[in-house]
Each structure stands twice: as C-alpha cells, then as structure tokens.
Amino acid sequence: GGGQKVRIAMIGGGYVGLVSGACFAEFGINVSIVETNPERLSALRDGRIPIYEPGLDALVASNSQAGRLTFGDDIAQAVTGAEAVFIAVGTPPRNGDGAADLQYVHAAARQIAEALTGYAVIVTKSTVPVGTSRRIAEIIRQTRPDADFDVASNPEFLREGSAIGDFMRPDRVIIGLDQRLPERASRAEGVLRQVYRPLSVVEAPLLFTGLETAELTKYASNSFLAMKISFINEMADLCEKLGANVHDLARGMGMDKRIGRDFLQPGPGYGGSCFPKDTLALSRIAQEAHSACRLVETTVQVNEARKAGMAGRIAAACGGSVAGKTVGVLGLTFKPETDDMRESASIPILHRLAEAGATIRAYDPVGMAAAKPLLPQDVVYCTDALEVAEGADVLVVLTEWNMFRALSPAELAKRMRNGVIVDLRNIFDPTAMRAAGLTYESVGRP
Ligand code: NAD
Ligand code: UGA
C-alpha cells in the first residue's frame, strides 16, 4: 500500500500461476510464486520453464533478474507482507462424478491461513465451483480465528498458446467480492484495483460482482465457448451432407456482431485442461442446485462422440479399415503453441486407430514428450512432418501447427505410399492438394 510497491503471493506455478505471476511482475509488482512440485520448482529456480508457452521464458528471465519475481516452496515467506495472495492450483475433475476436485484449493487455504501475518485479500484464480470462495473464508477462519483477511474470486480467462497476450490485454477482469459486507468488500476492492491498475493502459474493464456470480461467470463463459465449437462442428457435419462450405457459413454467421466470428472453427472436437472439465463441472453444479444445464450436458456428449468418431472417419478415408495401414499423424497437442496434452483429441483417436490394427507414425513440434505416456506404446515418433509422411497410407492433421501449413503437397505425395490426407483442421487448400494427386478430405467443405 501507500507509495510502496505492491507485493503479492501466487500459490501454484503451473500454466495460470506462472503466466499471471510473470505478467504481474512485468507490471512492476513484487511476486513470490510458491510451487510445491519439486521438479517444477527446481526448474523454475534454474531459469528453466517447465511448460511451453510462447514468450514466457524471456518474461520470466527478465523479471527474475530484476528481482520482482521469485520462486520458492516456503508459503510463509511468500505470504508475509503480501497484500493479495492468489490461489492458482489445479482443480481437476474428481474421479467418478466430474465435479471439480477441490483438495488442492482447500489445502492451499489452510497453508495460507497458517502463514498470514497482516491483512491480505485471498484471491481465487483457479476455476472453482460456486461457493468455494466462501468455503475458503471458512477454512481460514477455522484455522486462524484471529486472521484479518477478505476473500475474492478472480477467475482467469487466458488461453494456452497466447497466454501472455491474453493476460496483458484481457477483454475484461472479473472480480467477485462478498457484497453482503460492503465495507470489507470496498477494502478488498481497493487492493485489487491497485494490483490491476497497470491494465488501465489497455482500458481493460474491471467488473466487480458478488462472489457467486464471479465463480459462475467463469464456468458459463467456458461452457458457452465449448457450445459454440460443438455447434459449428455439427454444422460442419451438416455441410458435408448437403454440399455446403462451413467456412463460408461461419463467416456469414460471424459477421453478425451478436454472434461474433471467433470460436467457429470446426475440428476433431475441443480438448484441453478446461473445456472438457468445466462443462462437466457446470453440469454438476446445476444438478446439485436442483437446476439443469441441458445445453451444456448435451455439449459434453456431442464433443465426446465427436472425438471418438474421428477414428471412423479416418478408417472410411482408407476404404473402410485401417488394419495393416500406416497412419501418419501431424500434431498431438490439444491446440498449437502449447505442449499440453490434457484431453487432446489425439488420445482417443490414436488408441482407436491402434486397436483397429494401424501402424502409427507421429510428429508434434513440442508435445511429443508429454504425449508418449498417454498414447499407444508402439507409436513411432518422427523428427519432422515429412518423415511422418514416409510410406504412410493416410496422413491425418490433428493440430494446426503453423509449420504444417507450409508443407508442399508434391513433397507429401512423393513420400506417401497412398496419398490420402484427412485434414481435421482444414489447414490445406483442397485444390492444391488434389492437383498434386492426393485424395484430400477436410471438415465441412466439399
Ligand atoms: P497446473 O496443474 O498447470 O498448475 C497447478 C500447479 O499448482 C502445479 O504446478 C502444482 O504443483 C501446484 N500446486 C498445487 N498445490 C499447491 C500448493 N498447495 N502450494 C503450491 N503449489 C501447489 O494447472 P493450471 O493449468 O495452471 O490450472 C490452474 C487453475 O486455473 C485450474 O483451476 C484451471 O481450471 C484454471 N485455469 C487454467 C487455464 C489454462 O489455460 N491452463 C486458464 C484459465 C484458468
Ligand atoms: C480456454 C478458453 O478459451 C480460455 O478463455 C480459458 O481461460 C481457458 O480455456 C481455461 O479456462 O483454461 P484453452 O483451453 O487454453 O482456453 O484454448 P482454446 O483456444 O479455447 O481451445 C480449446 C479447444 O477448443 C482446443 O482443442 C481447440 O482446438 C478447440 N477449438 C477452439 C476449436 O475446435 N475451434 C475453435 O474455433 C476454437
């Protein structure tokens, strides 16, 4: 406070904690990141970034050097003197029912409570079910009845692969506070306005809401985007049946400002650590509230079926079966510019192909190390895209890495045994592919 520099602690140094911690440091804030995974921590301390995210290594290096960004496992040290303590630990789906597993969040709350020395706002950045912020307040009060604190819900909307840009230039920042206690809420609001002040340069609006609303807005936003993707995927299927072109359709729809052009790219089904988990969690939240989100429940089913059905599409392109065929796979991660394999469509697709008797060759520019433990054992990993094409009967594009767009159709045709391309991200020009003698199939266009 005052004229002094703002200090914050960030609990969790994963995608969200590390990116937002480094970005806050770039704003001039003193940031202590607490990470309990010893491998992640020692990497961070050695200046190695444990995840692939464009621009993150340079951002972490310069802010570490400037002394604004530090890493440790001592939560007491990080929390001492911090005006805000952000919780950015994982909230994976709980086994069985799809609800979010809050064990890491609750453990972090207990640790923070023990470490508090003066007033601090405890801010939840993790995606958490409605009611979690109040539960965190309860845990802290139980652990430390004397603690002086407020809780806030500040869900994060960054995307992997463009995380720094998304964090630095957000469409909005949502901050939920306990509006039942207006005086306390305004004190916490003051702290968070100061933390986010640098964003006024890019005119990012801060939207203050109640705790429940902020928590729910995060799930609603992710579920709406997931629904939008599933909608365009169904339109792509329909376009194929009717001879229409889904890209022109998406453009035509997207020019209507009420619809918007983004997130209308058809593909093999959405993946990642968030859409699959958050759509399931919202369905659970609604059920537990004796309400229902049927559109979201259906989106979950449509997307699961879509991922599973992609192997059949590949088999059909091979004349009905992939048994004994060599399938080349370009891209394994759930989207480009990340090494994250969580819920990637490649996982169910490659397992089905392997079960059906295909020989699989694959390449991903940064995701292969993370992919190996999740994919069938006998997948052959190649050193580049052209090596994947060598002797392949069919070449499947699963992730739209930019480097694949530049592949020459003639080079592919020369290397493949049977020139069948199944482009599940529509990165190639159908005319150019067919001109090179390749059999070319994509999603939702003739
Ligand atoms: P992650 O698994 O990459 O990172 C979480 C980190 O927290 C891990 O490194 C873990 O070791 C650490 N951790 C767990 N408990 C800890 C503790 N008590 N003290 C210190 N460190 C601890 O997860 P993530 O992808 O960064 O996601 C975190 C949360 O943010 C989730 O709720 C997620 O839904 C949400 N979110 C993620 C994204 C994204 O793009 N990945 C975007 C927006 C929101
Ligand atoms: C998503 C949201 O976009 C972020 O706003 C949110 O913060 C984040 O989840 C989260 O809560 O963790 P992310 O999963 O990193 O971000 O990536 P997206 O760009 O949203 O892509 C998710 C999946 O949807 C990918 O598999 C992608 O291929 C697919 N997708 C996306 C499509 O198939 N079509 C599209 O038009 C857009």
- Cβ of 222 below 6 Å from ligand 2: yes
DSSP assignment, residue 256?
A: S
Question: What's the half-sphere exposure (Cβ side, CA atoms, 13 Å) at 302?
Answer: 22
**What is the complex's ipTM, to 2 decimals?**
0.98
Q: What is the pLDDT of residue 238?
A: 98
Q: What counts of helices (H) and strands (E) characterise the chain? A: 18, 14
Q: What is the pLDDT of residue 61?
A: 97
**What are the structural domains of the chain?**
7-204 (3.40.50.720), 220-300 (1.10.1040.10), 308-441 (3.40.50.720)
Ligand 2 center–CA 67 separation, angstroms: 33
Ligand 2 center–CA 271 separation, angstroms: 7
Q: What is the pLDDT of residue 310?
A: 97
How far, in whole angstroms, is CA 138 from its chain's centroid?
A: 29
Q: Is 239 a catalytic residue?
A: no
Q: What is the pTM of this model?
A: 0.96
- Cβ of 134 below 6 Å from ligand 2: no
pLDDT digits (tens, 9 = 90+) for 102-140: 999 999 999 999 999 999 999 999 999 999 999 999 999
Query: Within the chain, what is the greatest distance between any pair of CA atoms?
Result: 75
The identity of residue 127, as a single letter, is T
Question: What's the half-sphere exposure (Cβ side, CA atoms, 13 Å) at 1?
Answer: 12
Of the residues 274, 293, 318, 382, only one is catalytic, namely 274
Residue 375: partners with Cβ closer than 8 Å, 6 or more residues away:
332, 346, 347, 350, 351, 362
| pLDDT of 2 strictly over 50 | no
Ligand 2 center–CA 272 separation, angstroms: 7
Cα–Cα distance measured from residue 116 to residue 121, given in angstroms and rounded to the nearest whole number: 10
pLDDT digits (tens, 9 = 90+) for 415-435: 999 999 999 999 999 999 999
